[in-house]
Amino acid sequence: MERSTREAMERVNRSRYKLTRQRSKIIETLVATAGEHLSAEEIYGLVTLEAPDIGLATVYRTLDLLVTLGIIEKTDFGDGRARYELASPGDDHRHHHLICSGCGIITEVKDDLLDDLESTLEREYDFCITDHRLEFYGRCASCRSD
Ligand SMILES: [Zn+2]
Ligand SMILES: [Zn+2]
Ligand SMILES: [Zn+2]
């Protein structure tokens, strides 16, 4: 079992919720598709390949629960469907995304270049910043070459 699967399962076990077979299956699917940003329907499609008895409503409920427990993150990239991915363990900062309006590919930005901006805002507005969210929209290299 992958480390991130085990960590996610331990977090459910430490909560007041039980680690049911359905919840384990959905966590495993999200670990296996790390780096993709799947919708609930796409997750449902993958989960039911191995566990055909899991219903779409259960998938929705489980995703909501995993978001509440901080195990996964839910992001709206502006295409009208929420996307889900594992939260980065030990880091409550969400990473940033580049979203191509041509093909829809989502690239994760590994560096956070906003520390200076945050310090400036904190100083100028006397505001203590704890987090930020940021998505960039544009066109990827292969869409621009068409
Ligand atoms: Zn593109
Ligand atoms: Zn992401
Ligand atoms: Zn950031």
Phi first, then psi, for residue 125 (nearest 5°) are -110, 5
| Ligand in closest contact with the CA of 137 | 1
Q: How far apart are alpha carbons 120 and 6 in whole angstroms?
A: 39
CATH number at residue 117: 3.30.1490.190
Report the C-alpha dihedral over residues 4, 11, 88, 73, rounded to 10 degrees.
120
Residues with CB under 5 A from ligand 3 (ion): 112, 114
| Ligand in closest contact with the CA of 141 | 1
Instruction: Write down the pLDDT at residue 4.
Output: 86
- Point out the least confidently predicted range of 57-61, 114-118, 141-145: 114-118
Longest dimension (CA), the chain: 55
Q: How far apart are alpha carbons 67 and 70 in whole angstroms?
A: 5
CATH number at residue 74: 1.10.10.10
49 and 74 fall within a common domain: yes
Task: Give the structural domain span for 114.
Answer: 93-146
56 and 121 fall within a common domain: no
Number of structural domains found in the chain: 2
Cβ pair 133, 119 in contact under 8 A: no
Of the candidates 146, 144, 120, 145, which has an alpha carbon nearest to the alpha carbon of residue 132? 120
Tell me the pLDDT tens digit for each residue of 19-43.
999 999 999 999 999 888 999 999 9
Across the range 100-117, mean pLDDT stands at 89
Tell me the pLDDT tens digit for each residue of 56-105.
999 999 999 999 998 999 998 888 889 999 987 666 677 889 999 999 89
Of the candidates 48, 106, 94, 107, which has an alpha carbon nearest to the alpha carbon of residue 67? 94
82 and 101 fall within a common domain: no
- pLDDT band of 119, cuts 50, 70, 90: very high
63 and 98 fall within a common domain: no
Instruction: Write down the pLDDT at residue 92.
Output: 62
61 and 13 fall within a common domain: yes
Of the candidates 4, 63, 61, which has an alpha carbon nearest to the alpha carbon of residue 34? 4
Instruction: Write down the pLDDT at residue 28.
Output: 94
Across the range 112-119, mean pLDDT stands at 89
Instruction: Write down the pLDDT at residue 45.
Output: 97
Instruction: Write down the pLDDT at residue 34.
Output: 87
CA of 52 to the centre of ligand 3 (A): 38
